[in-house]
């Protein structure tokens, strides 16, 4: 693995990630597993917890700022403020709870309403893949919803750590590309390369766990009149 390029503290790129989803689906467990390599078995409802960590993303040292939001309906009114500050969203449901999967529609709609951008960086995450014998949401159902939204779907397990790093790093990459695209558009140049505009999606198994959005990333050139 290539060593990270050194940067000053103030020059590190910052990725603001928001965890959303119903209560009890494992948002906090995923966050704590990513942050501290530990699995918390007991469930305690979250109001809003913030975490920051330095990581190496594709050879560059960056910072990730994770806001773990409350899933309970009592906190729905204050989510708008959290969503406005977010640059990318991990929308988590439990594969063992059909209701949590249904709730992802409301979370998605609220995010799009607040951000006013259908291309906001967003991953659909099916957690608790270690409990496959209790599965209520099939991989095909989740894949179909992800394809309908034009986003990636990944199954994770906070307990076994399956795909935990992957969802955070994939979202940071998508967020970074969005920032790059926006910056390029603001330069006023006549030709701007935009990446990515479309993916060829296939269903594959990533280390034994279902992962979507593998395939080819294409470059496109936009001509500004």
**4 part of a folded domain:** no
The pLDDT value recorded for residue 74 is 58
Torsional class of 37: left (φ above 0), alpha (ψ -120 to 50), beta (otherwise): left
**Taking the mean position of all CA atoms in its chain, how far away is CA 198?**
17
Domain membership of residue 3 (yes or no) is no
Domain count, the chain: 1
pLDDT digits (tens, 9 = 90+) for 163-173: 999 999 999 99
DSSP-assigned beta bridge partners for residue 5: 60
pLDDT by residue (tens digit) across 141-165? 999 999 999 999 999 999 999 999 9
Residue 29 belongs to domain spanning: 9-223
Q: Does residue 73 fall inside a structural domain?
A: yes
**pLDDT score recorded for residue 72:** 62
Write out pLDDT tens, residues 115-138.
999 999 999 999 999 999 999 999
Residue 126, in any domain of the structure: yes
pLDDT above 70: percentage of residues in the chain: 71
Question: Is 172 part of any domain?
Answer: yes
In a domain, 86, yes or no: yes
Give percent of the chain with pLDDT exceeding 90: 63
Instruction: Confirm whether 109 is domain-assigned.
Output: yes
* CB count in 10 Å sphere of residue 109: 10
Give dist(CA 86, CA 69) in Å, integer.
Answer: 11
Q: Are 141 and 39 in contact (CB under 8 A)?
A: no
CATH of the domain at 208: 3.40.50.300
Res 5 pLDDT > 60:
no
Assess if residue 36 is contained within a domain: yes
Q: Which pLDDT belongs to residue 87? A: 96
Within 13 Å, how many C-alpha atoms sit on residue 105's CB side?
8
Q: Which two tokens stand for residue 166?
A: 């992957």
Residue 195 has pLDDT above 60, yes or no: no
Whether 124 and 146 have beta carbons less than 8 Å apart is answered as yes
């Amino acid at each position: 693995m290539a060593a990270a390029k050194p940067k000053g503290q103030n020059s590190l790129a910052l990725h603001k990630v928001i965890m959303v989803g119903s209560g009890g689906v494992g948002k906090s467990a995923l966050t704590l597993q990513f942050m501290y390599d530990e699995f918390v078995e007991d469930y305690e409802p979250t109001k809003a917890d913030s975490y920051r960590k330095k990581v190496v993303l594709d050879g560059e040292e960056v910072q990730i700022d994770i806001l773990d939001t409350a899933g309970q309906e009592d906190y729905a009114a204050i989510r708008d403020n959290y969503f406005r500050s977010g640059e990318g969203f991990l929308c988590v449901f439990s594969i063992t709870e059909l209701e949590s999967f249904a709730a992802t529609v409301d979370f998605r709609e609220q995010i799009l309403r607040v951000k006013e951008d259908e291309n906001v960086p967003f991953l659909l995450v099916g957690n608790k893949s270690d409990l496959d014998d209790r599965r209520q949401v099939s991989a095909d159902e989740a894949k179909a919803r992800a394809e309908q939204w034009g986003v990636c779907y990944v199954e994770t397990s906070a307990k076994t750590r399956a795909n935990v790093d992957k969802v955070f790093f994939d979202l940071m990459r998508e967020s970074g590309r969005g920032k790059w695209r926006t910056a390029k558009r603001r330069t006023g140049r006549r030709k701007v390369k935009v990446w990515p505009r479309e993916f060829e999606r296939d269903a594959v198994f990533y280390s034994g766990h279902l992962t979507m959005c593998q395939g080819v990333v294409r470059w496109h050139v936009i001509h500004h009149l």
